[in-house]
Amino acid sequence: MCGTIHLGTNKLEIDCELADPFWWRHPDPVIDLTRLVLDNPEAGPRPEPWKVELTQIGQILATVGHFRNADLADRLGHVVAEAGNDIAEQAKVDIRFEWTPHATA
Number of domains in the chain: 1
CA distances from 57 to 4, 27, 42, 100, 104 (A): 11, 14, 24, 14, 24
Give the pLDDT of residue 18: 62
What string of pLDDT tens digits covers the 105 residues of the chain?
A: 566 777 778 777 766 566 566 655 656 666 677 666 655 555 556 778 888 898 889 888 888 878 889 899 899 999 999 999 999 999 998 999 998 887 655
CB neighbours of residue 41 within 10 Å: 6
76 domain-assigned: yes
62 domain-assigned: yes
105 domain-assigned: no
Cβ-contact 30, 17 below 8 angstroms: no
Domain range for residue 35? 3-21+28-98
103 domain-assigned: no
83 domain-assigned: yes
Q: What is this structure's pTM?
A: 0.67
72 domain-assigned: yes
Give the pLDDT of residue 38: 58
Count of alpha carbons within 13 Å of 44, Cβ hemisphere only?
3
71 domain-assigned: yes
Residue 51 φ then ψ, to 5°: -65, -40
For the stretch 49-68, pLDDT in tens is 888 898 889 888 888 878 88
104 domain-assigned: no
- Which of 9, 68, 60, 66 minimizes the C-alpha distance to 30? 60
Give the pLDDT of residue 45: 64
